[in-house]
Amino acid sequence: MAATATHEEPAPILRLTGIDRRFGGVHAVRGVDLQVRPGERRAVLGPNGAGKTTVFNLISGEFPPSAGRVELFGLDVTTLPARKRARLGLSRTFQTSRLFAGLSVEDNLYLAALGVSAGHLRLVPSGKDGTLRAAARAMAERIGLDTRLDDLVMDLSHGEQRQLEVGMALVAEPKLLMLDEPAAGLSRAERVRLTETLIGLDEDITLILIEHDMDVALRVAKWVTMMHDGRVIVEGTPDEIRANQTVHDLYLGSGLIAHA
């Protein structure tokens, strides 16, 4: 795997080395190496079952790899639990929304902001938590949910829930943001809005994106990693990926796996 830019290379913000993960008899991820530099816009593509979400879970610390090494922000975090990685500045969304259905939109965002700050166990009334409440409301406005602050999340539409997923990841002000299929199930208008949000992200935030929608993925990403069968098979710019025969075969459902 060749690096893109040949000029000066900053230290990677994320480095996976020889990552393996088995679930019983299933070999979900096989020897994946991956490097992401600060400020990068990276898309991870691949058909269902390629191992994309497993790689995400290994990076965020849902479970440890069977073999290999995960480094975040220059630290070896292979055995560090998810909550400590979050506090280092990693923030993620989930493929199927994992929101607090019994809480209001504002309380969801409040908890997301609270997670990376001190004082999880404080007994102060959360309504008087000025700074975090302000951050929660500002984020609600940014994702277009400011009119639904007091509504329970279980009463939101699918599109609104997906927006909230992204908002909850952003309100933690991460250094590394990982989005798992943020556009899944969104309407056309909602996709356009999401794409704009992602393109408009602060340049300091590093973004890794799993997305099946090529319009979203290839517009947002500057560099694409293509996975299949637990392996990284191609990496390149969006243009190179568009022109790549293997990618076409995989996404058009060809039974033959061509060799790139």
Binding segment for another protein (CB under 8 A), chosen from 6-14, 117-125, 199-207, 228-236, is: 117-125
> Which run of H or of E encompasses 155?
none
Tokens of 98: 């994992």
Residue selected from 94, 139, 167, 170 as contacting another protein according to rule CB under 8 A: 94
Closest to 233 in 3D by CA, of 46, 36, 37, 3 = 46
C-alpha 47/C-alpha 214 separation (Å) is 12
Q: How many residues bind another protein (CB under 8 A)?
A: 45
Rg (CA), the chain: 19
Distance of alpha carbon 43 from its chain centroid, rounded?
9
Looking at this protein, which amino acid is placed at residue 160? E
Residue 175 C-beta: closest distance to another protein, Å:
13
Select the residue interacting with another protein from 67, 80, 82, 201 (CB under 8 A).
82
Q: For residues 96 and 211, give the distance between their C-alpha atoms in angstroms, rounded to a whole number.
A: 13
* Token code pair at residue 228: 């299949």
**Residue 104, exposed/middle/buried by CB under 10 A (0-12, 13-18, 19+)?**
middle
Considering only 19-27, 43-51, 148-156, 217-225, which stretch makes contact with another protein by CB under 8 A? 148-156
Among 22, 30, 95, 103, the residue binding another protein under the rule CB under 8 A is 103
| 98 is a site residue for another protein (CB under 8 A) | yes
- Cα 249 from chain centre: 25
Q: Does the footprint of another protein cover residue 60 (CB under 8 A)?
A: yes
State yes or no: residue 252 binds another protein (CB under 8 A). no
The minimum distance between CB 230 and another protein, in angstroms, equals: 22
- For residue 228, the minimal CB distance to another protein (Å) is 26
Indicate whether 107 belongs to the interface with another protein (CB under 8 A): yes
The angle subtended at Cα 58 by Cα 52 and Cα 60, nearest 5°, is 105
Nearer to another protein, 148 or 228 (CB): 148
Q: Which is nearer to another protein, 82 or 201 (CB)?
A: 82
Q: Which residues bind another protein (CB under 8 A)?
A: 60-62, 81-84, 86-87, 91-92, 94, 98-104, 107, 110-112, 114-116, 119-127, 129, 152, 154-157, 168, 172, 187, 189
